[in-house]
Amino acid sequence: GWRYGLALLLKHSALPAVQREELLGCWLLEERQRLNRQLRLLQLIGMLAPMLGLLGTVLGMLEMFANIAGQNSPVTPALLADGLWQALYTTVWGLLIAIPALAAGQGFALWAERYLEGVQALLNRCQLALDGLELELTGSPLANQWVLP
C-alpha cells in the first residue's frame, strides 16, 4: 500500500527528483495493476451470472415447450409450471449474483481510483518536502484529502 510507496521514496531520497518521480511513477503503475487484478474477478462474476441465468431461462422454456409438445390432451397450467419455475428461478439467481458483484466492482473501482489519487498526492507532497519545498493546504478543500487507510 501507500506505506511501501512512502518507504520507497525515503529509501531513494538521495536520487535526483526526476529519478524519484520515475521510480514512483513505476510503483504507482504496479499498484494500479495490482488493484485492477483484484477487480477483475468481480467483473467476471458480474458478467457471467446473468448469462448463466439466461441459459437457465432458455432451458426452462425448452422444457416447458417439450412438455407441451409431448401432450395429447389440453395444456394445463401444471404442465407449464415446472419449466416456467426453472426459467424464473435461474433468472432470479443470475440477477441476485450479478447485481451485487457489479455494484461491488464499481464501488471498489471508485475507491481504488480515489485511493491512488490520494497516494499520488501524498507522495508528491513528500517529494516536494525532500526538495525543501512545502505545500500549504490549510483551509483548502484538498487539506482533508490526505487521510489514507
| Tens digits of residue pLDDT in 61-73 | 998 898 888 888 8
147 in any annotated domain: no
Q: Is the predicted pLDDT of residue 125 greater than 90, yes or no? A: no
Label residue 141 by pLDDT band (50, 70, 90).
low
| pLDDT: which is higher, 27 or 135 | 27
The pLDDT of residue 113 is: 93
Convert the chain into a string of H (helix), E (strand) and C (coil).
CHHHHHHHHHHCCCCCHHHHHHHHHHHHHHHHHHHHHHHHHHHHHHHHHHHHHHHHHHHHHHHHHHHHHCCCCCCCHHHHHHHHHHHHHHHHHHHHHHHHHHHHHHHHHHHHHHHHHHHHHHHHHHHHHHCCCCCCCCCCHHHHHHCCC
Smallest CA-to-CA distance from 91 within 62, 60, 113 is with: 60
Structural domain including 57 reads: 2-132
89 in any annotated domain: yes
54 in any annotated domain: yes
Q: Is the predicted pLDDT of residue 144 greater than 90, yes or no? A: no
Q: Is the predicted pLDDT of residue 81 greater than 60, yes or no? A: yes
Q: Is the predicted pLDDT of residue 139 greater than 70, yes or no? A: no
22 in any annotated domain: yes
140 in any annotated domain: no
Question: What percent of the chain lies above the pLDDT cut of 90?
Answer: 52
Model pTM score: 0.69
- The average pLDDT across 112-116 equals 93
Number of domains in the chain: 1
The pLDDT of residue 138 is: 57
149 in any annotated domain: no
Cell of 3: 506505506
Smallest CA-to-CA distance from 91 within 44, 59, 43, 45 is with: 59
142 in any annotated domain: no
The pLDDT of residue 32 is: 93
The pLDDT of residue 95 is: 94
145 in any annotated domain: no
The pLDDT of residue 136 is: 66
